[in-house]
Amino acid sequence: MADNPNDLHEHKGMSRRTFMKNTGLVAGGVVGGGLIGGLLTNQLQQKPEVQTATDNGQIQDARVFFSRGQDFDILAAATERIYPKDDSGPGAIELGVPYFIDKQLSTEWGVNAKEYMKGPFAVYTTNTGNHNITKDQNKQGPNAETQVPAPTPRYQTKMTRSEIFVTGLRELDNVAQKEFGASFVKITGEQQDEVLRMFEDGKVELKGIGSKNFFNMLLQTTLEGAYADPVYGGNKNMMGWKMKEYPGPRASYAAQIEVEEFVKLDQQSLRNYQGH
């Protein structure tokens, strides 16, 4: 793992193209359902191309939350549109963002274990909700959270985040079918953007959630997957941090705090920091 950006292209993990090829096959195989589909999936996962890369942590790249491969494929395609591969470096898929989200959805956060989930639940049928926007993530200024027009419904659904994700992803597919006559993973990138924008603008009815809320959650978790410590399954090989020139956790930045010029440091992850 050097800082040379050329290394990104030599990275042995799944490129977007390889990934789409594989998942396309898996999805195709599962159409028949049941045992055969399952066997086919197993066989595909034994392809040497995928398994050789265990030294880069790819042995951890398997679904632990999404039971249906199709849901995961939609997620992968959507995150790649939100955070695409470009000349500055890898996109969401190469960074492992879909696996990051998959893992997050089975944590205490994904099942809302530390949230107040007692009834009665108010159900919003409109799309004015914006409860997942983060002030630090917003595009317009430091306190964008307060820019949401009132009244702002809060998180009031009975559904957990993991349930919201499954519902939302399947609705992405429904809208793709309705608007473009094909599954979300089969339509063009521009068409995928159009579907995502419909959710972002709250134009899709998603009862109890609000399509805008789902979109904001998808956006936020995609960025988290690109930039959280690699221990969570995203930010593969700290490539997200390398693009950002973010050095990672350190004991001290006392030597940098007064320096006028930008000081570029090598990346260090939690694993390095804890001294493993």
Partner 1 sequence: MVTKLEKVDVVVVGTGWAGGVVSAELAKAGYKVVALERGKNQTRDDYIGVKDELRYTNRYEMMQNLSSETITSRNNLDEVALPVRTRKEMMAGNDLGGGSVHWAGASYRWKPYDFEIRSKTIERYGKAKIPEGMTIQDWGITYDEMEKYYDRWEKTAGISGEPDPLGPDRSSDYPNPPMKESPPIKLFKEGAKKLGLHPFQVPAGNLSQGYTNPDGEVMNACMYCAFCTQYGCDFGAKSDPLVTVLPTAQKTGNFEARVGSYVRRVLYKNGKATGVLYVNTLTGEEFEQPADVVVLAAFTFTNNRLLLLSGIGKPYDPKTRKGVIGRNYNGQFGITFLGARGYFEDKKFNYYAGAGALGGAVGDYAGDNFDHTNVDFINGGGIEMRQYGKGAIASNHVPSGTPGWGADYKKKSLHYTYRSLVVWYTSANMAWWHNYVDLDPTYKDDYGDPLLRITFKYTDQDRNIAKFGIEKSREILEAMGADIIDEDQVPEEFDHVYDGGHYAGGVIMGTDPSTSAVNNYLQMWDAENIFVVGAANFPQFAGHHPTETVGALAYRAAEGIEKYLKEGGPLVARKEVSTHV
- 162-201 residues in contact with partner 1 (CB under 8 A) are 193, 196, 200
**Can you read off the two tokens belonging to residue 199?**
């959710």
Residues 205-234 that bind partner 1 (CB under 8 A): 219, 222-224, 227-229, 231-232
CA distance 153 to 272: 42
Site for partner 1 in 83-112 (CB under 8 A): 83-84, 86, 88, 109, 112
Of residues 24 and 249, the one with the C-beta less far from partner 1? 249
Q: Which of 96, 168, 210, 240 binds partner 1 (CB under 8 A)?
A: 240
Least gap, CB of 260 to partner 1 (angstroms): 5
Binding status of residue 126 toward partner 1 by CB under 8 A: no
- Closer residue to partner 1 in complex, CB, 12/154: 154
Taking the least distance from each CB to partner 1, the nearer of 61 and 80 is 80
Is residue 270 part of the contact set for partner 1 (CB under 8 A)? Answer: yes
Of the candidate residues 51, 52, 126, 134, the single one contacting partner 1 (CB under 8 A): 134
- Considering only residues 23, 127, 132, 237, which one is a binding residue for partner 1 as defined by CB under 8 A? 132
Per rule CB under 8 A, is residue 154 in the interface with partner 1?
A: yes
Which lies closer to partner 1 via its Cβ, residue 39 or residue 263? 263
Determine if 60 is a binding residue for partner 1 (CB under 8 A): no
Q: What is the 3-state secondary structure (H, E, C) of the chain?
A: CCCCCCHHHHCCCCCHHHHHHHHHHHHHHHCCCHHHHHHHHHHHHCCHHHHHHHHHCHHHCCCCCCCCHHHHHHHHHHHHHHCCCECCECCHHHHCHHHHHHHHCCCCCCCCCCCCCCCCCCCCCCCCCCCCCCCCCCCCCCCHHHHCCCCCCCCCCCCCHHHHHHHHHHHHHHHHHHHHCCCCCCCCHHHHHHHHHHHHCCCCCCCCCCHHHHHHHHHHHHHHHHHCCHHHCCCHHHHHHHHHCCCCCCCCCCCCCCCCCCCCCCCCCHHHHCCC
Token digits of residue 218: 């998808």
Q: Which is nearer to partner 1, 41 or 191 (CB)?
A: 191
10 binds partner 1 (CB under 8 A): no
Give the count of beta carbons closer than 10 Å to the beta carbon of residue 119.
6
For residue 203, state whether it binds partner 1 (rule: CB under 8 A): no
* Binding of partner 1 by 45 (CB under 8 A): no
Interacting residue with partner 1 among 113, 182, 203, 266 (CB under 8 A): 113
Binds partner 1 (CB under 8 A): choice among 4, 31, 33, 139: 139
- Name which of 58 and 79 has its Cβ closer to partner 1: 79
Nearer to partner 1 among residue 8 and residue 148 (C-beta): 148
